[in-house]
Structures are given as structure tokens and as C-alpha cells.
């Protein structure tokens, strides 16, 4: 006997669980592995150290916003490596000298954002922002300069480009692009 179960894909289990068919049926890990662009997966852009009850699951709209960031991240990866990592004549796709762009935080559910002390209107809540790990201030400045040049070249605006430092002296670049009303806010934020 065959039993057909009709899933209502429009049903919302909660504000941020817009895709119950995927999440509730345990396909989340499959979803995490899905590529948003050649070098970035959904899992990378949703990872968090917080063990939240809501699972930090983005809605389809949040995923669209994360996707909008990926061309910037791909270009940053390519340009940074071309300028600072690859030896002359080395191939970008196969060289062992290529350095990844490491995202420490992308999409954050309200619970995750609260736990990490994020701003209440943070661009992370909508998947419009990523934090990019930096080895130090020098790398942060290089990343920021590349992203600024990229905005000029593309004639596209970003919402925020922040070089941040925490109390432990760790640096990261917070970069955000919204679907519209981008403010091109550039700031240094020192939390010491």
C-alpha cells in the first residue's frame, strides 16, 4: 500500500522556519552543504557557536540575502589571493597557496543574535551580513580596501563595512549588503 503525504510547503512552524518540509524532515544537513556560490556553502554562512533551540535556520528570504553577498565574497577571495598569495603564473583553482575567506558569522536567528550580543536591528538577522575573520589589522585593512574598490568597480553600494576588534584583540571585517537602501557605512569599531 502506498501512502501519499501532502506537505504544505507554505506552512510556517515559526517566524524563521519557513521551510518545514526541509527542516522538519531532517534534511537540514543536506541543505547546509548546498553551495550558494563556487566557494561558499549555506552551512558556512549559517554556522554559529551558539547551541540555539531554534537551530539557526534561515528563511528563503534570508537565504536570498546570503546569496547576494556571495559574488562579493567570491571577488574578495579571488582578488586577495591574486594580490597577496599566488606566485606568478600559479592557477587560482589548483594552487595550494590559496587562502580561504573564513566566515565566522553570517545569518543569525533572533535567539543566536541575542546570545552573541548582536545589535537588535543587526543585518545578520536577515542574512544581509557576514563577519570575515582576519589574522590581524593588516589583513582587515586589505580586505576592506578590496571591498571598497569592488563597490566602485561594480557601481553597487553596500550597507556596512566595519573593521572590528574585540577585547581579546581579534579582528574581523563585518560586511553587509541589503536588497535596497544601502547606506555605505564605513567604520572602525574597537571594543577594547
The helix (run of H) or strand (run of E) holding residue 35 is strand 35-37
Site string for Zn ion, 104-143 (x = CB under 5 A): ---------------------------x------------
d(CA 159, CA 163): 14
> Which of 85/133 has CB closer to Zn ion?
133
Which strand ranges, in their side-by-side order, compose the sheet holding 129-134? 103-105, 129-134, 171-176, 160-165, 185-190
At closest approach, how far in Å is the CB of 118 from Zn ion? 7
- The nearer residue to Zn ion, 19 or 122, going by C-beta atoms, is 122
Of the candidate spans 11-19, 20-28, 106-114, 166-174, the one that interacts with Zn ion by CB under 5 A turns out to be 166-174
Inter-residue contact 100 to 128 (CB < 8 Å):
no
Pick the closer one to Zn ion by CB: 42 or 98. Answer: 42
Burial class, 109, CB count within 10 angstroms (exposed 0-12 / middle 13-18 / buried 19+)? buried
Number of residues that bind Zn ion (CB under 5 A): 2
CB closer to Zn ion out of 27 and 191:
191
Amino acid at each position: 500500500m502506498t501512502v501519499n503525504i501532502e506537505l504544505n510547503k507554505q506552512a510556517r512552524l515559526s517566524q524563521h522556519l519557513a521551510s518545514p518540509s526541509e527542516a522538519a524532515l531532517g534534511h537540514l544537513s543536506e541543505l547546509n552543504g548546498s553551495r550558494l556560490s563556487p566557494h561558499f556553502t549555506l552551512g558556512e554562512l549559517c554556522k554559529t557557536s551558539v547551541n540555539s533551540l531554534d537551530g539557526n535556520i534561515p528563511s528563503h528570504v534570508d537565504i536570498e540575502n546570503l546569496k547576494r553577498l556571495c559574488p562579493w565574497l567570491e571577488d574578495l577571495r579571488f582578488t586577495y589571493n591574486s594580490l597577496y598569495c599566488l606566485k606568478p603564473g600559479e592557477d587560482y583553482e589548483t594552487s595550494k597557496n590559496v587562502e580561504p575567506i573564513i566566515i565566522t558569522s553570517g545569518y543569525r536567528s533572533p535567539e543566536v543574535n541575542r546570545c552573541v550580543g548582536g545589535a537588535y536591528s543587526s543585518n545578520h538577522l536577515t542574512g544581509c551580513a557576514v563577519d570575515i575573520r582576519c589574522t590581524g589589522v593588516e589583513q582587515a585593512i586589505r580586505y576592506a580596501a578590496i571591498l571598497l574598490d569592488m563597490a566602485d568597480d561594480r557601481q553597487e553600494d553596500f550597507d556596512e563595512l566595519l573593521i572590528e576588534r574585540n577585547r581579546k584583540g581579534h579582528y574581523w571585517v563585518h560586511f553587509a549588503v541589503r536588497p535596497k537602501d544601502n547606506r555605505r557605512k564605513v567604520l572602525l569599531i574597537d571594543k577594547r
